[in-house]
Amino acid sequence: MNRRHILALAGIGAFAGMPRAMAQTAPPANARTLSAASFGAKGDGQTDDTAALQKALDETFRGNDGTFLTIPPGVYRVERTLRISPQHHVTHATGIIASGARLRSSIADGANVLEVNSRSTFRFLQINGLEIHGSGKEGAGIHMECQEGGKYLYNFSLRDIVVQGCGGDGARLLGNVFEGQLYNCYLRNNKANGITFGHGSRSGILSAIHVMASVFGENGGDGAAMINNCYDVGFHGSYFLLNGRYGLVASNGCTLLSHCGFENNHQAAADFDAGGAGLKLNNFGTLIGCTAYSMFKQQALLDAFIVRRLVMVGCTGSGGGAAKGAYLARVRGQKKAQALAMGCSGDIRTESGFEVLDIGSGEQGGMRFSERWDGRNNLRLGDYVLWVDETGTLRTKKGPPQSDRDGQPVGMRG
């Protein structure tokens, strides 16, 4: 059995043995540091540490002096939402260092576990090494938003974060939240999505977010979802597997996915025929070196409706077992849209006359151009267009043809 078969059969067990946050990023050498223990936080798994942790957070973000809060290793029971919401501008690096610290939620009213709500210009927030374990009755594990006009939450970093078992999303980022990074984050087994990104419903544009080396798995909804018309999120070296629906939904496009894997999603579907692709994409997108493999209900890497442009380079889609019919992509869209596949592996299915310019893909390789006179991807040599008419004759014309028999048969003088 190859690695993918092993992962497919043992994905749940592999998640159960997932390592805790592994690396602690130290605060700047000259930063002021506080310890949650100094505010009475016990971390014994029994004491309600909500009040102590909130006092520590209030003091950490009270000024603009670059303070960092360290939370010592332990299990901290939380019964109410913890909030970070500075009312003044924050322009120095500040945040939480929590490698080995776990927030265990006892929240039962749908409220979020940790909220970051910017009502100012809030820069350089860092949250490193924190684990959040939900009760299944709270909202999001981490909720970050800025929906105030002229206010911003940006240049932030979430690193080595684990969020699992929450009743809502693992994480949710909304509004004027931009120029941020998520690195080595694990968002799993949450009842809604692993993570949701979106423009604000009232105000704010989410953009320039990069997600690196992160895992989104076993969530009840989608592994990741981009909503409210946002699109400027890039995923790099990340993995989406065993989610109830899609691995990723990008309802208005996705700037870039590079070297991402989609495996055995659509666990909530009845069977393979009722399943879907790992990635649901509308409008536009670029995929480089992305892969999809399934043994159960995931049908393909990509299901796309293209309005602008789709580019796939070196992507693969395949399956075995109940998913032996898995393929690379289902692509359709507006006639003016452009789609290119280069060096990919797996079938590409199109609908309603939509065309994909296919270069070097499949077993036969070569290049596939449109054969219709009005095709989007005709072979063009300078000003000349080539196509095959309904009789099978190769024709050419200088300039755009106006009908199937326009132009001259190749090899004949006219």
Question: Rounded to a whole number, what is the distance in angstroms from the first to the last CA of the chain?
Answer: 62
Task: Output the six-digit token pair for 332.
Answer: 């359709």
Question: pLDDT per position in the chain (414 positions), as tens?
Answer: 444 444 444 444 444 444 444 445 677 778 899 999 999 999 999 999 999 999 999 999 999 999 999 999 999 999 999 999 998 999 999 999 999 999 999 999 999 999 999 999 999 999 999 999 999 999 999 999 999 888 999 999 999 999 999 999 999 999 999 999 999 999 999 999 999 999 999 999 999 999 999 999 999 999 999 999 999 999 999 999 999 999 999 999 999 999 999 999 999 999 999 999 999 999 999 999 999 999 999 999 999 999 999 999 999 999 999 999 999 999 999 989 999 999 999 999 999 889 898 887 665 556 667 667 666 667 667 877 777 888 888 888 788 888 878 888 886 554
Compute the Cα dihedral for 124, 288, 172, 168 and give only its sign.
negative
User: Exposed (0-12), middle (13-18) or buried (19+): which is 29, by Cβ within 10 Å?
Assistant: exposed
Distance of CA 154 to the CA centre of its chain: 18
Task: Output the six-digit token pair for 134.
Answer: 């939900």
Does the pTM surpass 0.85? The reply is yes
pLDDT score, position 335: 85
Which residues have CB under 8 Å from 111's CB, separation 6+?
A: 80, 81, 138, 139
Sheet arrangement for strand 186-188: 44-48, 74-78, 101-105, 131-133, 162-164, 186-188, 215-217, 239-241, 261-263, 291-294, 316-319
70 strand-pairing partners: 35, 97
User: Rounded to whole angstroms, what are the CA distances from 4 to 197, 241, 319?
Assistant: 29, 11, 10
Nearest to 25 by CA among 36, 33, 17, 37: 33
3-state helix, strand, coil in the chain (%, to 5): 10, 45, 50
pLDDT score, position 363: 58
pLDDT score, position 364: 57
pLDDT score, position 412: 57
At 207-232, the pLDDT tens digits run: 999 999 999 999 999 999 999 999 99
User: Rounded to whole angstroms, what are the CA distances from 362 to 241, 273, 328?
Assistant: 25, 23, 10
